[in-house]
Amino acid sequence: MTTNASATELADAWKRAHAVLPGGVNSPVRSFKSVGGDPFFVDRGEGAYLVDTQGTRYIDYIMSWGPHLLGHGHPVIDDALREQIGRGTSYGAPTLAEVEMAERLVRLVPGIEMVRLVNSGTEATMSALRVARGFTGRTRFLKFTGCYHGHADPFLVAAGSGVATLGLPNSPGVPEAAVRDTTLLPFNDLDRVRELFAAEGDDFAAIILEPVMGNAGMILPEPGFLEGLREVTEAHGALLIFDEVMTGFRLGLGGAQGRFGVTPDLTTLGKVIGAGLPVGAFGGRREIMSQVAPSGPIYQAGTLSGNPLATAAGNAQLAWLEANDPYDDLEALGTTLVEGLLSALRDAGMEASGVAMGSMFGVFLHPGPVRSFEEAKEADLERFGRFHRAMLQRGVFLAPSPFEAGFLSVRHGPEEIDHTVRAAREAAREVMDGTL
């Protein structure tokens, strides 16, 4: 489809998409099902903007769900990709670029002494769990409701009630046996973690969590929560896994673990280390990672792991970030954005709360503070959908879900923030007036 497609052509494109793709999309959130309205087809990205096939420009606060820290089409990334394409796209054999990326991750991420590159965040988390189970000889693990760790079977569970309810599958096709060893608790509830581990801690291979939740909106750990998890796991011989697929290099060069000063045993990373190309990684203490094949007996493999295009783009972005360290400026920009959004929403009569950290931000239609997924679900989800549609009409593309963080890039600036806040004032009034 070409730019400036007509409405008729757009409708036809969605008809074609629905005929061959489940729901017309290749990932559920793209369908806008949770916010209503019609998705658009992207034609191109330009800096802080997306341009759809009808020629409409949107300020992009998704940034491909995190990896585009330098924005769309940054010359550093484009040049690296063009250079690599001339040498080939995949070899199935080692490259020095893989070694360079591994050395960079070991240098920058506190918890990584050795690392394995993979192809996605989901692959990273499922591999990290396998390694934790293989290293400890245990099978049970604890995750927190609202923390998303990809779509591997053990992670697709729904929260239950009680002190520590064993998970039940919340997706058809996931057998109960796959989640029998998954235990769920609310995020930020350290007392219940301590109670669980005091009774059954020696059965657990690991605790896995997003150290800052980004898949339930943006929820920060309360003071002492991460430190408490570190103490509990050490006391019981379990491993602490930080899923930094979202927070890695988004909160700072050292990720959340560098920001909060808590070092996990294993870390997972995702597409941010490939500047948007399909890539992931899991790494941790040398004694643990040395158990991964071919050094040890825990098997993991991938034909396209360490893909040269992904490592070229990723090394270029990470080198730029290391040289320029833009995180203070990004956090200041995010704070200005959140303060402006909250002012616009509250002035229109909505309850709202939010936070910014590093290059991430989040806003809830909830009085706050929001400390868990259970509290996030108390936000006004229906009103958020209307607000999302009103913002889209004004050229602002927020995540099409009330349970997702937002992302800034170095290409966002005061002009984009000002436009967004002005749009939010108009959109909020329209929502509250009932005209949308």
Q: Annotated catalytic sites, by residue?
A: 148, 243, 271
C-alpha span between 136 and 181 (Å, rounded): 14
Answer yes or no: are the C-beta atoms of 273 and 166 closer than 8 Å: no
C-alpha span between 360 and 280 (Å, rounded): 19
Please, what sign has the CA dihedral across residues 62, 407, 64, 1? positive
Buried b (16+ CB within 10 A) or exposed e, 281-292: bbbbbeebbeeb
Find the helix or strand (DSSP H, E) in which 196 lies: helix 190-200
Per the structure block, which two tokens stand in for 316? Answer: 């270029």
Place of tokens 């937002």: 406
Strands 57-60 and 165-166: unpaired
173 SS3 class: coil
C-alpha span between 296 and 274 (Å, rounded): 27
C-alpha span between 407 and 74 (Å, rounded): 16
Answer yes or no: are the C-beta atoms of 338 and 316 closer than 8 Å: no
- Which whole-number Å values give the CA distances from 157 to 165, 266, 267, in the listed order? 11, 22, 21
Strand partners of residue 240: 207
Answer yes or no: are the C-beta atoms of 36 and 21 closer than 8 Å: no
* Upstream peptide bond of 94 is cis (omega within 30 degrees of 0): no
